[in-house]
């Protein structure tokens, strides 16, 4: 069984963050572990409060995981401060971590800011270079590339700029495009457009977390980056298509849509 680690924030509503990551790992029959960076009070309508855990505690969580059950792949989500970024980067280097997927969470689906602006530079310098894949959405790509990203041409330019920071692949998700939901993958100096149907479903809380976690699982299973992303997109599409409808705002996905219990009592 593949062993996966998520380093991210906790979402009390269960739709994103640590909770979405662990559900995604479970849906792929992989063993999930977690290092919690922040605790949020949030639901489908928005983020009410955010409390970062002390960097020392995050370091101890990482030590506890790596010295016992070494992960085959790692997904990094919400890391909101310079102290947390420095601590995580240091520990990942110390333990020679592999198959790292970084989802640069900056703003929640409801529009709440989840990363301090001063931390962005350190994210680019310390965490992104460790990644096999970086998965920003269009707005996050704009911040990382220091430009506006509104269309496919912008996505292509931003992907190349971000690609200069890292040796790994850059996947910019196109869920905010007006006419499609195409993603762009920039890898080894080449551009790949990954087309996907646009599904009419307002409940998209946690899509970024889910996609990056699914990519990490597929990398742990030994798939190459392109195949890992394609399979992750297929899984995400199914979770959106299931059209789970919970909460009063932008609801969560059905992460376990493919699981059928043999015995229901």
Number of H helices, E strands in the chain: 8, 9
Buried-exposed string 154-172: b where 16+ CB fall within 10 A, e elsewhere: bbeebbeebbebbebbbbb
Q: What is the predicted pLDDT for the residue at 256?
A: 94
Residue 106 lies in a domain: yes
pTM of the model: 0.94
Residue 230 lies in a domain: yes
Specify the CATH number for the domain of residue 127.
Answer: 3.40.1190.20
Which of 27-31, 73-77, 227-231, 255-259 bottoms out in mean pLDDT, i.e. has the lowest?
A: 255-259
* C-alpha span between 204 and 249 (Å, rounded): 10
- At 259, is the pLDDT very low, low, confident or very high (cuts 50, 70, 90)? confident
CB neighbours of residue 234 within 10 Å: 12
Angle between helices 207-220 and 225-241 (to 10 degrees): 140
- Quick check: 186 pLDDT over 70? yes
- Express each pLDDT in 52-81 by its tens digit: 999 999 999 999 999 999 999 999 999 989
Residue 86 lies in a domain: yes
Question: What's the number of domains the chain is made of?
Answer: 1
Strands (DSSP E) along 53-197, which ranges?
73-76, 100-102, 133-134, 169-172, 183-187, 190-194
């Amino acid at each position: 069984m593949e062993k996966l680690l998520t380093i991210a924030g906790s979402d009390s509503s269960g739709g994103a963050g640590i909770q979405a990551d662990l559900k995604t790992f479970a849906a792929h029959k992989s063993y999930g572990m977690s290092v919690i960076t922040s605790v949020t009070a949030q639901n489908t309508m928005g983020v009410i409060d955010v409390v970062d855990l002390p960097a020392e505690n995050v370091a101890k969580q990482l030590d506890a995981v790596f010295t016992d059950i070494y992960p085959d792949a790692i997904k990094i989500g919400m890391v909101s401060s310079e102290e947390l970024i420095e601590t995580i980067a240091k520990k990942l280097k110390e333990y020679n971590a592999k198959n790292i997927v970084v989802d640069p969470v900056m703003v929640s689906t409801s529009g709440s800011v989840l990363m301090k602006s001063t931390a962005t530079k350190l994210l680019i310098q310390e965490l992104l270079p460790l990644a096999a894949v970086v998965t920003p959405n269009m707005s996050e790509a704009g911040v990382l590339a220091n430009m506006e990203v509104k269309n496919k041409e912008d996505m292509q330019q931003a992907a190349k700029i971000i690609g200069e920071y890292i040796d790994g692949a850059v996947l910019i998700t196109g869920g905010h495009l007006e006419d499609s939901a195409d993603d762009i993958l920039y890898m080894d100096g080449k551009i790949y457009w990954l087309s996907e149907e646009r599904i009419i479903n307002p409940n998209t809380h946690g899509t970024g977390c889910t996609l990056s976690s699914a990519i990490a699982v597929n990398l742990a299973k030994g798939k190459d980056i392109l195949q890992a992303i394609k399979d992750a997109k297929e899984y995400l599409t199914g979770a959106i298509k299931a059209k789970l409808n919970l909460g009063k705002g932008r609801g969560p996905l059905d992460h376990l849509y493919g699981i059928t219990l043999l015995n229901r009592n």
